[in-house]
Amino acid sequence: MLLLDKVNTPSDVKNLTEEEMVLLAQEIRDKIVETVSENGGHLASNLGVVELTIALHSVFDTPKDKIVWDVGHQCYAHKILTGRCEQINTIRTEKGLSGFPKRSESDYDCFDTGHSSTSISAALGIACSDEMQKSGAYTIAVIGDGALSGGLAFEGLNNAGRSAKRLIVILNDNKMSISRNVGSMSRYLSSIRIKPSYLHAKSKMHRLSRIPLVGKPMTRGMKRVKDWMRDEFFGQKNNLFEQLGFTYLGPYDGHNIAQLRTALQAACHKPVPVLIHVCTKKGKGYEYAEKNPKNFHGVSAFDVETGEPKSTSTGYSDVFGRCLCTLAEKDSRICAITAAMSIGTGLNAFSRQYKERFYDVGIAEEHAVTFAAGLAVGGMIPVFAVYSTFLQRSYDQLLHDAAFQKLHIVLAIDRAGIVGEDGETHQGIYDTSFLYTMPHLTLFAPSSFYELETMLSKALYDTEGIAAVRYPRGGEQYLPADYQYQGKPYSLYGNPEAPVLVVTYGREFSQACLAKEALREEGIDICILKLNVLKSMAIGAFGTAMKYPTVYFFEEGIRTGGIGEHFGFQLYDAGFQGTYRLTALNGSVPQAKTGAALHKAGLDASMIATRIRNDIKLGGTHGRKKKTGPFGL
């Protein structure tokens, strides 16, 4: 009988011996590998914190004591141990468990996470609240060394060191984030990171303490000698964390449950905030993930026996990376910037071929934008490749440091639109709305690999101010054989005399084309206006739309402040008398496969065709003046 069959809550974990906890760790690892191989997800980071998760739930009284997981992509073991083991096979599926902590999912998830570097600030707020209410609870923030490179983490540390007494920060030091860790913090942690030989000696010291009668006194004596030598030769506050007001404990072996439990129990008796430094191995227990943790950070479904993905295809990220390398070969001014995402954004080849022009700034998107602005002032052409969802963190820097100065920086916005299984925190549906507010910004939306290459070149050389190119996750979608991009700000595809005009952009153009073909078989003719430049939009695009009695706008982006809303206002402001109907996303998009999410939002080919077909049957098109206003119906 497996231990997992009888361990369902943290109370069950507390009843295990430490030897049983070690066996439980292996069972959890097997379960995680099995699940992620089918569903995709974050593998290496989850395998690295199994023992830490077991130790936390064996020592603390959750959910009264609260654990805040930074980023949250390492919470699978936590979910398994908090009543969700039987549901773990639904993780990242529609209506299944989230791949991140969700307060709506369980009382054991005290704070929703998905983006980096938030845990210390959130945990501090929770801890201060508990202190005011005299709950007697502990709050624990678990943050990785990669997330610690984010500015918000430092703001949290700076405030936490003089505040909540029942706050424990666990620094999970696995020597990397998604890409290899960079910067001064990484070097600093390397300088205090425990050596394997010292970890071994510390483990022996722990075993020595178990010797009857003499063990504990000997251990206490050795510790006093060690502490005296440290204080005598290095001073009492000999590291950054102690200078910030924390009691620093560690480093500890993050895969030694007994050692972790001892450290956690010691932290509970400290009258000040405590930082526990643990060293873990990303991908621990699964050979392929241990050897290549970068590639096994976030994975699609794979074969457990070989470690190979079950399907491979060329995506927009790959095409962007190759194109940028080609352009950089001819122009030494081109620089590439990533925020710890060189593989995910397609910059791996650039990082090897043009090391002197490649900058990984760590998980610091705000810094990346202002750094790019500085490069631009110096005469370079910086390209910041970033996921749409993470670009949100840089709004002020885009506005204040780049746009107001009319500096020429290029944003390569990856994962634009719906991304699928990672859910609300990772959907790239807000960039069009917040970028539209930026002055001196041009926003391109390619619908094919060729358009991406062409628009990237235009962004680099034919555009002033900020130039942004947004493209989706994955590969090319369907395009009609008779459609050709002419390099213009907008394209008109289909019969210009058709009574219905569909306006769209980016990946959604493919869905509109499929809907057009389906409707044509039913004798319904539509024309498609494809926007290639979303901002600043060509006046001719509005002029073209004004000629149609019925205009539909289908947008894979947020409705409020999105391109479709702006387009509608411009039409009515110019005196449009026809019918305008906007279909876009309202609020957050829950986790589901991209196709299913598009269908539910009314944005796939079948739903586009159904919307138009039903309106025609109701007499709402073909010239009837059923005015709906700029927001549509």
Residue 626: pLDDT above 50? no
* Sign of the dihedral defined by the CA atoms of residues 255, 257, 259, 263, in that order: positive
Residue 198: pLDDT above 90? no
Report percent pLDDT > 70 for the chain: 88
Q: Rounded to the nearest 10 degrees, how much is the dihedral formed by the CA atoms of 519, 521, 523, 529? A: 40
The position carrying tokens 């927001």 is 631
Residue 102: pLDDT above 70? yes
Residue 397: pLDDT above 90? yes
Question: Burial code of 580-611, b = ≥16 C-beta within 10 A, e = fewer?
Answer: bbbbbbeeebebbebeebbbebebbbebbbeb
What does DSSP say about strands 274-279 and 247-253: parallel, antiparallel, or unpaired? parallel
Q: Rounded to the nearest 10 degrees, how much is the dihedral formed by the CA atoms of 437, 443, 448, 451? A: 170
Mean pLDDT of 263-283: 95
Q: How far apart are CA 4 and CA 579, in angstroms?
A: 59
Local confidence band at 619 (pLDDT 50, 70, 90 cut-offs): confident
| Higher pLDDT among residues 207 and 65, named by residue | 65
Q: What is the pLDDT of residues 518-560, one digit of tens each?
A: 999 999 999 999 999 999 999 999 999 999 999 999 999 999 9
Mean pLDDT of 294-315: 93
Q: What is the pLDDT of residues 364-384, one digit of tens each?
A: 999 999 999 999 999 999 999
Q: Where are the alpha helices (DSSP H) in 65-118?
A: 76-79
Report percent pLDDT > 90 for the chain: 84
Mean pLDDT of 30-38: 97
Mean residue pLDDT across the chain? 91
- Mean pLDDT lowest for which of 89-98, 164-173, 521-530? 164-173
| pLDDT score for 4 | 95
Local confidence band at 623 (pLDDT 50, 70, 90 cut-offs): very low
Residue 218: pLDDT above 50? yes
Just give the CATH number of 490-617.
Answer: 3.40.50.920
Mean pLDDT of 6-26: 96
Local confidence band at 617 (pLDDT 50, 70, 90 cut-offs): confident
Two domains, one topology: 316-470 and 490-617? yes
| pLDDT score for 178 | 44
- Residue 394 DSSP class: G
Chain centre distance of CA 249: 30
Mean pLDDT of 291-306: 93
Q: Rounded to the nearest 10 degrees, how much is the dihedral formed by the CA atoms of 426, 431, 432, 434? A: 130
Amino acid found at 593: K
Phi first, then psi, for residue 336 (nearest 5°) are -120, 140
* Sign of the dihedral defined by the CA atoms of residues 372, 373, 377, 382, in that order: positive
Beta-carbon contacts of 594 under 8 Å, excluding residues fewer than 6 positions away, are 418, 419, 420, 473, 474
Beta-carbon contacts of 124 under 8 Å, excluding residues fewer than 6 positions away, are 139, 141, 156, 159, 160, 163, 164, 167
Structure tokens at 220: 């206490």
Residue 9: pLDDT above 90? yes
- Report domain extents, the chain: 3-204+245-299, 316-470, 490-617
Beta-carbon contacts of 506 under 8 Å, excluding residues fewer than 6 positions away, are 416, 417, 445, 446, 447, 470, 471, 472, 556
Q: What is the pLDDT of residues 487-504, one digit of tens each?
A: 999 999 999 999 999 999
Query: Of 400, 195, 395, which Cα lies nearest the Cα of 279?
Result: 195
| pLDDT score for 294 | 87
**DSSP per position, 210-265:** TSTTTHHHHHHHHHHHHHHHHHHHH-SS-SHHHHTTPEEEEEEETT-HHHHHHHHH
Q: What is the pLDDT of residues 144-166, one digit of tens each?
A: 999 999 999 999 999 998 777 79
Q: How far apart are CA 616 and CA 626, in angstroms?
A: 12
Q: How far apart are CA 396 and CA 219, in angstroms?
A: 53
| pLDDT score for 193 | 47
Residue 238: pLDDT above 60? yes
Just give the CATH number of 3-204+245-299.
Answer: 3.40.50.970
Beta partners for residue 493, in sequence order: 528
The beta strands (E) that lie in 435-535 are given as: 441-444, 466-470, 490-494, 500-505, 526-531, 533-535
Local confidence band at 227 (pLDDT 50, 70, 90 cut-offs): low
| pLDDT score for 165 | 79
| Higher pLDDT among residues 304 and 213, named by residue | 304
Mean pLDDT of 552-577: 96
| pLDDT score for 161 | 84
Computed on alpha carbons and rounded to an integer, the radius of gyration of the chain in Å comes to 27
Query: Of 44, 144, 52, 33, which Cα lies nearest the Cα of 91?
Result: 33
Question: What's the CATH class of domain 316-470?
Answer: alpha beta
| pLDDT score for 225 | 64
Local confidence band at 217 (pLDDT 50, 70, 90 cut-offs): confident
Catalytic residue set:
282, 365, 393
Q: What is the pLDDT of residues 422-460, one digit of tens each?
A: 999 999 999 999 999 999 999 999 999 999 999 999 999
| pLDDT score for 405 | 98
The packing angle between helices 50-59 and 18-39, to 10°, is 130
Local confidence band at 235 (pLDDT 50, 70, 90 cut-offs): very low
| pLDDT score for 632 | 52
Structure tokens at 235: 């001073």
| Higher pLDDT among residues 176 and 294, named by residue | 294
| Higher pLDDT among residues 623 and 485, named by residue | 485
HSE of 615, CA atoms in CB hemisphere, 13 A: 26
Mean pLDDT of 387-396: 98
| pLDDT score for 312 | 86
